[in-house]
């Protein structure tokens, strides 16, 4: 008679333990489990935009270090990055592979405006998070029509506006020649730039020239701009074409020419071949510190970052790639989203966290830079700052500028 209560007690204890185990187990969509989180992206490791390839290598290094430190809430991050050569059809093919074969939980940190526009319908239809692509495209980010696509850096529209404000303040009689990539990258910059110039645009902008990402050279376009009398070159260009354009613009315009490039083209890995002499005086925008700045040598966050680059991205150019922590910061933001998801690693919860940021900040951001999103605003960053190349490094100028 005493055996039965003992058996019942054992059964009840087992049920309690089972219930506790079930409670501890996570809620998952494909790409997540008790031990793993799979993320994927595409990037141009080859092709005309391959100069940006240090970025995904830095992201991979970040997740490697993170995994060695225990991962995210005990789960290792499996980061799968594939080469799309900056070709939209290839991006579509590889993104489908990441989702349907590799079963990633989310697409994170992919490169490019035309490439990400190409996969946006597919990812949103399947409700796959398309998080923090390396593009500030205003065209790409549209919460109402595409609620699974969230940006990260400064929008191209804000950047175009800030550059125009700077020119109006510093060179109000400028004769502006614009080089732009003939896609949404170019138009998303140029339209707000012209709108900010307002009525002065007709008098100040003397010429515009376009190029395609596959064009081998932009030399003729810059020579044409100079031929119209331009003394200020606004280069809405990226990667190899940006470097070429800066070099030719300096040759054509001389040391007094004012030359602008977008943030996406300001990394030393892109511009280093131009040489410090031609880069001197170049202008751009930024939202993060330069970790190679000697004044920051003893900053704990900078020391940690430089040690990370040395140990986890050994193929990096220490003088160039270490100066651009954008990929490191993007991986930090992605990790923060995953941490805040806890054991609820569903795509819906990831989107809930990513679209409800409130004053998030990280040590490598400039003072005053915070991340904020709402269900109606998917660009987390609304502040940027001008910078100038002084002949050896970028130096921040002025104060942060908000929308």
Q: Tell me what pLDDT residue 19 has.
A: 39
Pair 210, 246 in one domain: yes
Q: Tell me what pLDDT residue 317 has.
A: 65
Spatial distance between the Cα atoms of 394 and 290, rounded to a whole number of angstroms: 7
Give the residue from 257, 286, 315 where a domain finishes.
Answer: 286
Answer whether residue 402 shows pLDDT above 90.
Answer: no
Compute how many other C-beta atoms are within 10 angstroms of the C-beta atom of residue 348: 11
Spatial distance between the Cα atoms of 139 and 130, rounded to a whole number of angstroms: 14
Q: Tell me what pLDDT residue 154 has.
A: 84
Structure-model confidence comparison of residues 296 and 322, the more confident one: 296
* Structure confidence by residue, pLDDT tens digits, 298-342: 999 999 999 999 999 877 665 566 667 999 999 999 999 999 999
Of 64-73, 100-109, 153-162, 329-338, minimum mean pLDDT range: 153-162
Give the residue from 245, 260, 286 where a domain finishes.
Answer: 286
CA-to-CA separations, 374 to 106, 123, 351, 359, 382, in angstroms, rounded:
19, 20, 11, 12, 13
DSSP one-letter string for 153-222: SB-HHHHHHHHHHHHHHH-TT--EEEEEETTHHHHHHHHHHHHHHGGGHHHHEEEEEEE-TT-S--HHHH
Pair 309, 345 in one domain: yes
CA-to-CA separations, 380 to 64, 127, 128, 383, in angstroms, rounded:
26, 20, 19, 9
Pair 53, 166 in one domain: no
* Structure confidence by residue, pLDDT tens digits, 192-233: 999 999 999 999 999 999 999 889 999 999 999 999 999 999
Sheet of strand 283-286, all strands in order from the earlier edge strand to the far edge: 205-211, 176-181, 232-236, 258-260, 283-286, 383-389, 394-402
Give me the percent of the chain exceeding a pLDDT of 90.
75
pTM flag (> 0.75): yes
Pair 78, 128 in one domain: yes
Residue pair 136/151 in contact by the 8 Å Cβ criterion? yes
Answer whether residue 24 shows pLDDT above 50.
Answer: no
Pair 357, 313 in one domain: yes
Answer whether residue 349 shows pLDDT above 70.
Answer: yes
Q: Is 335 helix (H, G, I), strand (E, B) or coil?
A: helix
Does some domain include residue 401? no
Does some domain include residue 342? yes
Q: Please report, for the domain that includes residue 277, its CATH number.
A: 3.40.50.2300
Pair 310, 277 in one domain: no
Pair 166, 265 in one domain: yes
For the chain, the average pLDDT equals 90
Confidence of residue 128 (pLDDT cuts 50, 70, 90): very high
Residue pair 175/232 in contact by the 8 Å Cβ criterion? yes
Q: Tell me what pLDDT residue 269 has.
A: 77
Answer whether residue 387 shows pLDDT above 70.
Answer: yes
Phi and psi angles of residue 207, each rounded to the nearest 5 degrees, phi first: -170, 155
Pair 267, 279 in one domain: yes
Pair 163, 116 in one domain: no
Domain that holds residue 245: 156-286
């Amino acid at each position: 008679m005493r055996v039965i209560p003992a058996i019942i007690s054992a059964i009840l204890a087992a049920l309690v333990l089972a219930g506790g185990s079930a409670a501890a187990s996570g809620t998952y969509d494909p790409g997540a489990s008790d031990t793993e989180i799979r993320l994927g992206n595409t990037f141009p490791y080859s092709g005309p935009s391959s100069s940006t390839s240090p970025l995904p290598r830095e992201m991979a290094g970040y997740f490697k270090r993170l995994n060695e430190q225990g991962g995210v809430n005990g789960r290792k991050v499996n980061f799968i990055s594939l080469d799309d050569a900056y070709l939209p059809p290839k991006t579509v093919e590889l993104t489908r592979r990441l989702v349907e074969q590799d079963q990633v939980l989310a697409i994170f940190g992919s490169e490019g405006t035309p490439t990400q526009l190409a996969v946006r319908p597919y990812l949103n239809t399947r409700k796959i998070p398309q998080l923090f692509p390396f593009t500030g495209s205003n065209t790409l980010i549209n919460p109402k029509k595409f609620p699974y696509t969230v940006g990260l850096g400064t929008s191209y529209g804000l950047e175009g506006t800030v550059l125009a404000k700077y020119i109006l303040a510093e060179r109000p009689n400028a004769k502006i020649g614009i080089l732009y990539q003939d896609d949404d990258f170019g138009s998303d910059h140029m339209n707000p730039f012209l709108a900010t110039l307002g009525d002065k645009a007709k008098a100040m902008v003397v010429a515009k020239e376009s190029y395609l990402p596959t064009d081998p050279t932009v030399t003729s376009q810059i020579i044409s701009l100079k031929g119209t009398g331009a003394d200020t070159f606004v280069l809405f260009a990226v990667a190899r074409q940006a470097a070429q354009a800066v070099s030719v613009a300096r040759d054509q315009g001389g040391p007094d020419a004012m030359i602008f490039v977008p943030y996406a083209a300001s990394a030393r890995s892109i511009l280093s071949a131009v040489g410090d002499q031609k880069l001197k005086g170049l202008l751009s925008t930024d939202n993060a510190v330069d970790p190679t700045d000697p004044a920051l040598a003893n900053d704990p966050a900078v020391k940690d970052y430089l040690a990370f680059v040395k140990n986890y991205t050994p193929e990096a150019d220490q003088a160039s790639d270490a100066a651009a922590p954008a990929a490191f910061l993007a991986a930090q933001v992605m990790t923060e989203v995953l941490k805040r998801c806890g054991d609820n690693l569903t795509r819906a919860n990831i989107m809930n966290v990513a679209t409800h940021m409130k004053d998030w900040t990280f040590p490598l951001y400039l003072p005053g830079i915070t991340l904020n999103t709402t269900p109606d605003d998917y660009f987390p960053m609304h502040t940027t700052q001008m910078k100038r190349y002084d002949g050896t490094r970028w130096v921040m100028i002025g104060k942060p500028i908000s929308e």
